[in-house]
Amino acid sequence: MGPDISHHPLHGADGSVTFSSKLCSILAAANGPVEVQRRDELPEEAAVEVNIRPVSGVSGPRERWLESVVAAVLRSVLHLHMHPRTLIQVTLQITKAPSSTLKGAVQDVALLPSLINASFLALADGGLPLRNTVAAVLLAVVSTGEVREEPSEKELVGCKSLHGLAYNNHGDLLLSESAGGFDLAEWERIADQAEETCRAAMAPLDEDGVVMEGTTSSGPWLRQELTDKAQAAVAWREAT
Amino acid sequence: MAAAMVLLPGEEIPTDRLPKPKKGKLTLGPGLQHTPPSIISATTAGSLQVDHRKAALWLEHAGGRYQPSVGDLVIAQIHHSSVETFSCALTPHTSFAILGQLAFEGVSKKTRPQLKAGDVVYARVSRASKWEDVEIECFNSATGKAEGMGQLKGGMVFDVRPAFARRLMMGTDKEGVSKGGVVVLEEVGGKVKFEVAVGRNGKVWVDSGSVRETVMIGHLLRGADEGGWDVEGQRKAVKKALRDV
């Protein structure tokens, strides 16, 4: 099945979610639109602020970089012009990360897809205006040359290259971060597979809520989660 | 009615789901966006609701911050007062809404209300735009009547989700059945005397004879909101709470 998701764990935040994949767990909170500091204010659109808190210690240059990458993706997902001169704030607390020592870049890329998925779900929970649906996926080329979706920690240690990609529902590439050695042909193959996986995550459900297209093991987990949540929100309508 | 269709952000509404208005005009509610010439797409994840009589459609969504729109009744807290206006908070961490010092029933320059920081008023949103500050008023500016608005003295304010506040404000249909599926207030009202004001910004003000009863009503409302109790569950919880008080 797909990742483990629980909606709205935080009561103070406008939108929040806990997101657990094989490698890591993330607690995400989205607030917005809120008042923005004067120096961050943009006259025509909302400012996006992403804060990443590591499992332990204070955030450093590594988290700054992750923040900038996540913020760039969120900017292309949000309808920023709908709330000018405001702030949309996303806070991501990493609660579990790969424990074994990984090479620097591998460690960073391994977290990115989960960060993107968690922040998207938090924004959706907070009812912020979104341009499109986005899903991110982590792909690893293991030592035998095989491509693994959502690799385990063991596979990460010996992998040749690691790729974090995100696609939206129109099939546009929103995130591409890689680590390790690979050639262009290999990357193209990986990108095709990633697009298929991302689209499968939001593939339509048929009448019984069973997978219609996409044969990946996790199925349309993203659509399933959002559909279940939306139906729970209108359960009172059926009752009356 | 067929099961509500759930849309994800960025998805288009199939044209056969659109209502067919007589005047050729559609009304779009929250969560929807029109891209000329004829594409209507979702901007959030929610289930599509259609009112065929009014040719209106909107996405129903549970969470999120309150966005002011003209005509909404809200509960605002005074933050500070300046020469001609009060600055009030509708939701935390957003810029203040403006309430004119003379925007009350029967008030002249000499008898303006003396509101302090922290006081709570029941008001209506009179102007809401994304480019400027929200304005609210405590009287109907067309008739000059208060219509139940004004300062809320005593009592307590409880936070609920805006979607639940909307359900509370839906009222009852001709048979006296609650349209929003919330019967907590009616059930408690059978036994206990209290006053209530519901703000669309997710705030409910309750005042009754004792603090104990006020807090009980507040807890019941929050329980019904967060627990998602159905009508029967609400009745049970109210009975239990009334026994304990």
Per-residue pLDDT band for A208 (boundaries 50, 70, 90) equals: low
Residue A11 lies in a domain: yes
Q: When comparing pLDDT for B83 and A99, which is higher? A: B83
Per-residue pLDDT band for A217 (boundaries 50, 70, 90) equals: low
Residue A201 lies in a domain: yes
Beta strands in B43-170 (DSSP E): 46-51, 56-60, 73-81, 85-89, 97-100, 120-127, 135-137, 150-152, 156-159
Whether B74 has a pLDDT exceeding 70, the answer reads yes
Dump the DSSP string for A43-82: SSS-EEEEEEE-SSS---HHHHHHHHHHHHHHHHHB-GGG
Whether A216 has a pLDDT exceeding 70, the answer reads no
Residue A240 lies in a domain: no
Residue A162 lies in a domain: yes
* Cα A224 from Cα A205, distance rounded (Å): 8
Cα A135–Cα A139–Cα A144 angle in degrees, nearest 5:
165
Looking at CA atoms only, how far is residue B137 from chain A in angstroms?
22
Residue A105 lies in a domain: yes
Whether A187 has a pLDDT exceeding 50, the answer reads yes
Region B133-143: mean pLDDT is: 93
Domain total of chain A: 1
- The CATH number linked to A18 is 3.30.230.70
- Report the relative pairing of strands B203-208 and B194-199 from DSSP bridges: antiparallel
The whole-number pLDDT of residue A215 equals: 47
Contact A151, A138 (CB under 8 A): yes
Beta-carbon contacts of B16 under 8 Å, excluding residues fewer than 6 positions away, are: none
What is this model's ipTM? Answer: 0.91
Region B180-203: mean pLDDT is: 93
Q: When comparing pLDDT for B209 and B123, which is higher? A: B123
Query: What is the share, in percent, of chain B residues with pLDDT greater than 70?
Result: 99
Which residue among B45, B93, B226 places its CB closest to the CB of A35? B93
Region B222-240: mean pLDDT is: 92
Residue A239 lies in a domain: no
Residue A238 lies in a domain: no
The domain containing residue A199 runs over which residues?
A: 4-233
**Most B-contacting residue of A76, A237, A238 (CB-CB within 10 A), to test interface:** A237
Q: What is the mean pLDDT of chain A?
A: 91
What are the structure tokens assigned to A32, written together?
């917005």
First-to-last alpha carbon distance for chain A, in angstroms, is 34
- State the CB neighbour count (10 A cutoff) for residue A50: 25
Distances (CA, A) of A94 to A15, A102, A137, B73: 17, 17, 17, 40
Region B50-59: mean pLDDT is: 89
The whole-number pLDDT of residue A151 equals: 92
First-to-last alpha carbon distance for chain B, in angstroms, is 42
Residue A212 CA, chain-centre distance (Å), reads 23
* Cα B170 from Cα B174, distance rounded (Å): 13
Cα A123–Cα A127–Cα A128 angle in degrees, nearest 5:
60
Instruction: Indicate yes or no: CB of A234 within 8 angstroms of CB of B93.
Output: no
* Cα A57 from Cα B63, distance rounded (Å): 32
What are the structure tokens assigned to B22, written together?
């007589």
The answer to whether A8 contacts chain B (CB < 8 Å) is: yes
Residue A70 lies in a domain: yes
The whole-number pLDDT of residue A149 equals: 92
The whole-number pLDDT of residue A162 equals: 95
List chain B residues with CB under 8 Å of A83. 130
Burial of A68 (0-12, 13-18, 19+ CB in 10 A): exposed
Residue with tokens 């992750």: A66
Helix, strand, coil shares of chain A as percentages rounded to 5? 35, 30, 35
* Cα A116 from Cα A66, distance rounded (Å): 10
List chain A residues with CB under 8 Å of B131. 84
pLDDT digits (tens, 9 = 90+) for A53-99: 999 999 999 999 999 999 999 999 999 999 999 999 999 999 999 88
Whether B92 has a pLDDT exceeding 80, the answer reads yes
DSSP run (H or E) holding B197: strand B194-199
Per-residue pLDDT band for A172 (boundaries 50, 70, 90) equals: very high
* Cα A71 from Cα A59, distance rounded (Å): 16
Contact A162, A109 (CB under 8 A): yes
pLDDT digits (tens, 9 = 90+) for A98-143: 887 787 889 999 999 999 999 999 999 999 999 999 999 999 999 8
List chain B residues with CB under 8 Å of A240. 177-181, 231
List chain B residues with CB under 8 Å of A28. none
* Cα A84 from Cα B50, distance rounded (Å): 29
* Cα B16 from Cα B35, distance rounded (Å): 17
Per-residue pLDDT band for B1 (boundaries 50, 70, 90) equals: very low
The whole-number pLDDT of residue B162 equals: 92
Region B128-146: mean pLDDT is: 92
Region B227-240: mean pLDDT is: 92
Distances (CA, A) of B216 to A201, B184, B241: 44, 11, 7
What are the structure tokens assigned to A125, written together?
């929970």
Whether A214 has a pLDDT exceeding 50, the answer reads no
Q: When comparing pLDDT for A35 and A99, which is higher? A: A35
